[in-house]
Amino acid sequence: MTEPLLELKDVRKEFRIGGGLGIRRRTVAALDGVFLSISAEEPTVTALVGESGSGKTTIARLVMGLVEPSSGEVLYQGRSVRDWINSDEMAYRRQVQMIFQDPYSTYNPFYRVDRVLFSTVKKFNLASTKEEAQQVVLASMRAMGLRPEYILGRYPHQLSGGERQRLMLCRILMIKPRLIVADEPVSMLDASLRSIFLDNLLQLKESLQLSCLYITHDMNIAHYVADDLVVMVHGSVMERGDARSLINEPMHPYTQLLVASIPTPDPRKRWQDRLELNVSTLKELKPEVGCKFSPRCPHVMSVCREKAPPLFDRKGRRVACFLYE
Amino acid sequence: MQPTILEIEDLHVYYKTVAGDARSVEGVSLSVHANEILGIAGESGCGKSTLVDGILRLIKPPGYVPKGRVLFKGVDLLQLPKATMREYRWRDISYIPQGSMNSLNPVIRIEEQMGDAVLAHVKVGKREASQMAISALAKVGLPGDVLRMFPHQLSGGMKQRVIIAMSLLLNPSLVIADEPVTALDVVAQKAVLQSIARLRDDYGMTVLFVAHDMAAHAEIADRVAIMYAGEVSEIGSVSDVFIEPLHPYAQGLIGSIPSVDRGSVKGIPGLAPNALEWPSGCRFHPRCPVAIDVCPKENPPLIPIRDGRYAACHLVKADA
Amino acid sequence: MTMMADAPGEVAAPVRAGPLWRATTAIWRASPRLKLGLTLLLLLLALSFLEPIITHLRLEGRGPTELGTFPRLASASLQNPLGTDVFGRDLLALLMIGLRFSLMVGLIAGGLATAVAVFVALLGGYSGGRIDYLLNTVTNAILVTPSLPILMAVAAFVPIDLVLLALVLAFFSWPLGARIIRAQVLSLRERPYVEFARVSGFGRFGIMFGEILPNLVPFIIVGFSYAVIGNILAETGLRLIGLGPGDVISLGLLLNWAMTFGALAQGRYLMVLGPTVCLLLIFIALSLINVGIEERFNPRLKGVTGN
């Protein structure tokens, strides 16, 4: 068995907030003992699903080397990300790239959009002459269905969100990484453009044989793109497994809640249940000990409040719930 | 057939710019029937939020309303004096703007904020104001305990439901909500949408809500109007429109939504046009997969097709 | 592998110019006040630098600082539009010389101060951690040091020339700009495009100068104007109280002479008005530039810095 492409081993990430004269600083654990891995055997899209505050963005930043874990390891091809960056940052960046959520603010408004592409060519040594650089850029744009004569020379605000996001895919096409981290790349795009982007992403997966860690809170999208799905709550993994089967037969109570909350664009399949008066969902109470979902879980047992469940193996799935012990 | 509470007739909203008028809403006519939820759907730039602002007379310069009538129970809101309109806005029609859950004052208890909202419009005692607050909260499925809390103790979804409750304090007959669930997580979103559905089911209210998320409309709306480029392209019952959309844009839009109970989806190529320069003729023609010769020349009007369905497309003819 | 193509987008092709040119022309076109201020400033500069020619023509070869060129204490006349001073020197010529010196001191000191401020603010604000702590401490330390007594001491004991004076003034004026710019850097540092640059492999300096600096331009311009006017006034103040060499003419020195002579009491108003109006014009020009920049960029600062 080859080592995984990406692996997170018992990763904890804490942030200290507050503090000052005489006021104690609180530690907030954004990630609390996360185990995650993406196989290197074949290109996969792994969706990381969770509500805001679940820690998914922190994982993205750890993988990209923007932050360091407080404890635990973040390994790419067996070596820690920090090691990669310290010894040869560009080698790491060539293998691991990112697509951001906001297609507007990832562009520096001072420059034309060309800069994003041409600076990539320069940084990654994709061409040795100006003419070659031009060829590389134009080829990637055409492959993505963008017309260079309409796009190049423009400033970010002159393009639409869909075009800007697609330009980012051009960049990916030029670099040809092995792994991309996509942080909600379509959430700020219009509905009719989303599927175009997602299809482009899947086509890139096939043609470049790349894997993707796709972060989203939208289960419909996760269902569309993902092979594997990882569900997180408050910095811990609740369940992971094959995307289709996980959505069809969720095991973890939280996943069940998520799946039951998905709105479907089919009026014949509306939610049948009624609104519940649930006082305990006051603010997603984050327990210090025990299972992160225990305050809201309909099947909560006393053991759940005492210690956090590890990931149990069940039918090819991994579920962090004492119901499956 | 239920009586019509709100009748929008040929409403136009323009914005003056250096480059001419941006015609954000052009000739929109809609009726909202009593005790229904009417959803206004569309993507960014289609004019749906501007439409709502136009209905409630919230358009500020450089925007202006050159034409149109908005009849609320027979009274044209656009002709009312400002003071009267203000009264209508809380008592008869309540409005929940986009992002309003962030407008709760974080350091004041809910009870006080709701109390203030009541007292700004009617003179009642504190006890009675509390009662009104409790019953409003109950309408959205929140317990009275919420009153003693501060906004920061509540989750996003609960805050939004508090805002909805606040809009119900004076028992309006119509609630207009602009993107009520956009910033919420999926679990909270469901709770808020169900709260809105309750208003119709258990309390006989009428709701007009704007959302770009088509699935939200599919879950709770009775009828949906799909807007494109400042105009309505299709209206009908939610099951009709979603299962058998008539307008090519509606077809494209509905066919582009990924969903757990669907396989592949297809997007709509091209760019949304901008209000300074709508395409000639039918505004969707540059992106339409089935455009014919007449499409760039004439803008098709919204015509009744059958049973309360309307579509604005040259290829969709009314049933005889 | 070809993907779905877009339908045709917008029509016109934009001008192919570099970002710096675009920024400069954008700034110029930005506001009428800005144009006015810049024009005024350039006019003053031109006037003061053309002084040698103008004086030569006017005084028919006689040096402006030669004593006794003209009758002493003459009132305004065609030959001496501002009159003459107690030594018979043409006041208009002296004024233009003084204007030149004051402007030079202001611009050089202001320019130096701004350059240092930008560099310190960028480095500290972006790096954070110990570097920021160190630079910030230094900034604050100089900021709270009372500059006037030190300037007075320096001026009293060290022969002052333009360069030295500019250096000393710059030393005391850079911290203020640095603080303001640092605050802006702290905010810009969090922008998504900075994060994007980081994951694209750009190093610290590449990001500082490539991503953040361009979006600081409005602040730099405003900081520069303030630094210039501040330094001109500082120099004027020192000269007014008699410090500095008596032979290097600046607007402050002219005012000092006017004071010493008792011009106001004697009814020789032009002696005072001349330098004062010049200072006023410089101040107005720079303020107009500031207002113009803020007008254009302030509500739109969000647009420029990608909010």
Q: Is the pLDDT of residue B263 over 90?
A: no
Work out the average pLDDT over A298-303: 87
**Does some domain include residue A1?**
no
Number of domains in chain A: 1
Number of domains in chain B: 1
CATH number at residue B19: 3.40.50.300
Residues 144-173 of B with CB under 8 A from A: 145, 149, 152-155, 158
* Average pLDDT over chain B, rounded to an integer: 90
The 3-state DSSP class for residue A240 equals strand
Of B186, B220, B253, the CB nearest to A262: B186
**Does some domain include residue B127?**
no
Residues 18-37 of B with CB under 8 A from A: none
Work out the average pLDDT over C136-165: 84
- Return the number of other C-beta atoms located less than 10 Å from residue A147's C-beta: 15
* C6, closest residue in chain B (CA to CA): B270
Instruction: Kindly state whether A271 is in contact with chain C, defined as any CB-CB distance less than 8 angstroms.
Output: no
With CA atoms as reference, report the closest residue to A262 among B186, B192, B157. Answer: B186
Greatest Cα-to-Cα distance within chain B, rounded to the nearest angstrom: 67
Strand order in the sheet with B93-96: B93-96, B174-178, B206-210, B37-41, B223-228, B231-237, B309-311, B303-306
Of C198, C201, C306, the CB nearest to A109: C306
Contacts of C192 in chain A (CB under 8 A): 100, 102, 105-106
pLDDT for B248:
95
pLDDT digits over C249-269, tens only?
Answer: 889 988 988 888 888 888 888
**Does some domain include residue B48?**
yes
C-beta atoms of C306 and A100 within 8 A = no
pLDDT digits over A150-170, tens only?
Answer: 889 899 988 888 889 999 999
Q: Is the pLDDT of residue C12 over 50?
A: no
- Which residue segment(s) compose the domain that B248 sits in? 4-92+172-311
CATH number at residue A123: 3.40.50.300
**Does some domain include residue B103?**
no
- Return the number of other C-beta atoms located less than 10 Å from residue B107's C-beta: 8
pLDDT range class, residue C304, cuts 50, 70, 90: very low
pLDDT digits over A167-224, tens only?
Answer: 999 999 999 999 999 999 998 888 888 888 999 999 999 999 999 999 998 899 999 9
Check if the beta carbon of residue C111 is closer than 8 Å to that of residue C76. no
C-beta atoms of B270 and C6 within 8 A = yes
- Which residue segment(s) compose the domain that A80 sits in? 6-324
Question: Structural domains in chain C?
Answer: 93-304 (1.10.3720.10)
Instruction: Kindly state whether B195 is in contact with chain A, defined as any CB-CB distance less than 8 angstroms.
Output: yes
**Count of residues making up chain A:** 325
In this predicted model, which residue has the larger pLDDT, A323 or A16?
A: A323
**Does some domain include residue B12?**
yes
Contacts of A192 in chain B (CB under 8 A): 43, 252-253, 256, 267-268
Q: Is the pLDDT of residue A76 over 70?
A: yes
pLDDT digits over A213-256, tens only?
Answer: 999 988 999 999 999 999 999 899 999 999 999 999 999 999 99
**Does some domain include residue B229?**
yes
In this predicted model, which residue has the larger pLDDT, C306 or C133?
A: C133
Contacts of A264 in chain B (CB under 8 A): 215, 218-219, 259-261
**Does some domain include residue A158?**
yes
C-beta atoms of C7 and B267 within 8 A = no
Alpha carbons C96 and C277: distance in angstroms, whole number:
12
Instruction: Kindly state whether B92 is in contact with chain A, defined as any CB-CB distance less than 8 angstroms.
Output: no
C-beta atoms of A196 and C5 within 8 A = no
pLDDT for C4:
35
pLDDT digits over B153-192, tens only?
Answer: 888 888 899 999 999 998 899 999 999 988 788 888 898 9
Work out the average pLDDT over B206-219: 93
DSSP C67-104: TTSS-TT----SSSTT-B-TTS-BHHHHHHHHHHHHHH
What's the pTM? 0.83
Contacts of C4 in chain B (CB under 8 A): 267, 269
Instruction: Give C108→chain A minimum CA distance, Å.
Output: 28
**Does some domain include residue A57?**
yes
The 3-state DSSP class for residue B213 equals coil
pLDDT digits over B38-62, tens only?
Answer: 999 999 889 999 999 999 999 988 8
